[in-house]
Amino acid sequence: MKPGLALVMVTLVWAVTATAGAPALIPQPVQMQLRPGVFTLGSAPPLAGVAVASQVRIYADAGARETGQYLAALLGRSTGLRFAVLPAADAGPVRNGILLTSSNAVASLGAEGYELTVAPDAVVIRAPAGAGVFYGVQSLLQLLPPEVFAAQPAGGVAWTVPCVYIQDQPRFPWRGWMLDVSRHFFDKQEVKQTLDALALHKLNVFHWHLVDDNGWRIEILKYPLLTLTGGWRSSGMGWNLNPRSSSAWNGAGLYGGFYTQADIREVVAYAAQRHITIVPEIEMPGHSGAAMSAYPQFGPSGASIYSPALAIPFLEDVLTEVMGLFPGRFIHIGGDEVNGSPWTTSAPDIALMQSLGINPTNGTSAYQHWFSGQIANFLQANGRTMIGWSEIEYGGVLPNSGVTDWLNNESVAAAQAGQPVVRCPTGNCYLDYYENPAAAWSSEPPAIGGNVPLSTVYNFEPMPSGLTGSVTNNILGAQGCQWCEYVPSLLNVQFKSFPRLLALAELTWTPAALKDFTSFTNRLAADELRLAQMGVNYNHYAVPTAGMWAPSNTPAAYAPLSWDITTNVAAAGEIDASFSYTAGTNSLLIAWAALLENGAEIDRDTHAGTAGTSTSKASYVLRLPARKAGAAYTLRVSVQGSGGTNSAGTVYLPNWD
């Protein structure tokens, strides 16, 4: 399907949904009444006395002024109208304007709840606190045509909002997404773009996995080698990925990158404007290879793990700088998958374990527990709370800490012990897994394995059975986890995260009794158009194809095969080609792939690839500087069968690299 045709079809779906039935909001509000009529932006005359003529007036309380400015900027960009943000005290009876206020708000809606009233002559968003006003604005934006998220004025759009009354508040306070930037680095602009998509769906926690074996991504002024050495890899991307699928290379051919402290402050402020709290993760004591490459003196010789006997002062220095950048309550310290065997041969650690009464030969779990307790106490003394993965509880409940339970075995005990708990079991919340069953993996980019379908995410229940009373308050919510071993680009991150992350947004916001998967998937058609207007990639499920290869055209020695892809080339930019074996006794070997315009080669990606099993694909990235009207575009590849020509498969043209 051509992108333009898809846009028209989804627009029609949105229009039918918004006018004939309930508006297509995600997450589903707690209470929504559809009323007669519409509110039209720009229906008021220009506002006299305002220096810049404005067609729409936004009145905001002092506490909502920043949200008012955010709304004015977003609406002005896509509608071409001009907006004035004025004090709410000047509103009087609001006519042909938008009011953002906490006056006379329903206190029981809490810090994130809101009321949204759309009448033919006014829009009123009323909430007890600023976060609620912001979420009311997100619902208002979803009521507008999807083109409201366009990057430039969209012509021919009726800027109308259906009249509704919504009263809404979240089920859980932690509605999160984790992004791993250690395996592959994503720059601050890429992070900010995705934060916009989180905010639209009322997700409010961004768990930033900044440190792991493969890269240290946050500048620490006292220890500059953490980023200068630990932020770059000479070994390349790893995981057998196409080097062209990422732009995170420097002039010396090193792979990686890092955020300066100024970058971090910029992203934190950007997130805060969208009422998103960032939880930084500084992995310890394991998964610390990047730090050890820079400062090996803080770990056992040759190991990718910190020595508790040597590293605690260093880690306290690091965490002090981290706390100065991130104002939120929680600091994540990882703590997962720790192999403590290097401690058993490290003299300083043996001595410390013996002084603590821990047997050095079989007490590494107890030693990690002691270490985590020291870090938890340090953070608590500085007004913060440590949070870590399930394994920090191995050895017993860890006081002064919270748990992100990925192993799905610590939630109940931790909550009963009074610890804050975030649910993220692999089988429901790990977005690095394939979305489809194994039989359909050929239409997805490489993943770590397994599958987590959209319905499995949607049907996850964050509240463990058996918990009752006030203990349930210790279950903060849930988060989707986007690990990135096989996810080298923002397009790929978004492909894997959306729409599954939207299912998580609904299950953490909407009361369980109101959830309905059929309704959700119906509303998803409209929401995907919003994502498209925002420039956010997502799993389209129907991936375009260039063609197929078969035994009849598989050469025994390297020779070119070609496919006409003109109808698939809609604009300049990146063109991905992915080769997926489906049948036969022989693999397909690929030497290079090239893009031709009117028969002339304009780009080539040269690297050896093999399409040999249903889960093995060779991916190539081609770039089109400018699309020439009326030109013919061809994908040409040099291939041969491996040991024979009995090979068959499909050539996909996805948008995930």
Q: Is residue 517 part of a domain?
A: no
pLDDT attached to residue 52: 41
Provide the sign of the torsion angle of the four alpha carbons 433, 438, 441, 446, taken in this order.
positive
Q: Is residue 538 part of a domain?
A: no
Domain count, the chain: 3
Same domain, 339 and 229: yes
10-residue stretch averages of pLDDT, the chain, 657 residues long: 32 38 92 96 53 70 96 95 88 84 96 97 97 98 97 91 98 98 98 98 98 98 98 93 92 97 98 98 98 98 96 98 98 97 97 97 95 98 98 92 97 96 98 85 83 97 95 98 96 96 98 97 97 94 92 97 96 92 93 97 95 75 96 98 94 85
Same domain? For 211 and 130 the reply is no
Cα-based distances in Å from 93 to 88, 124, 629: 10, 11, 53
E strand intervals along 363-473: 385-389, 401-405, 421-423
Same domain, residue pair 162 and 278: no
Strand order, beta sheet including 559-564 = 559-564, 633-641, 588-597, 600-611
Question: Residue 533 domain-assigned?
Answer: no
- Tell me: do 245 and 286 sit in the same domain: yes
**Same domain, yes or no, for 253 and 308?**
yes
* DSSP percent split of the chain into helix, strand, coil, nearest 5: 35, 25, 40
Q: Which domain holds residue 192?
A: 174-510
Provide the annotated active-site residues: 212, 287, 337
Quote the pLDDT of residue 490.
Answer: 96
According to the model, what pLDDT value does residue 4 have?
32
State residue 21's pLDDT score.
64
Residue 529 inside a domain? The answer is: no
Q: What CATH number is attached to the domain comprising 622?
A: 2.60.120
CA separation for the pair 195, 363 (Å, rounded): 42
Q: How many angstroms separate the Cα of 144 from the Cα of each of 130, 139, 472, 521?
A: 22, 9, 36, 19
Q: What is the pTM of this model?
A: 0.93
Q: Quote the pLDDT of residue 655.
A: 80
- Give how far the C-alpha of residue 419 lies from the chain's centroid of Cα atoms, to the nearest Å: 26
Q: Report the CATH number that the domain containing residue 189 is assigned in CATH.
A: 3.20.20.80
Same domain, 159 and 200: no
Which of 510, 525, 559 is at the close of a domain?
A: 510
| Last residue within a domain, chosen from 168, 191, 215 | 168
Question: Residue 499: is the preceding peptide bond cis (ω within 30°)?
Answer: yes
C-alpha distances in angstroms, 656 versus 24, 297, 499, 552?
Answer: 26, 40, 14, 30
| First-to-last C-alpha distance (Å) of the chain | 20
Angstrom distance (rounded) from CA 274 to CA 206: 11
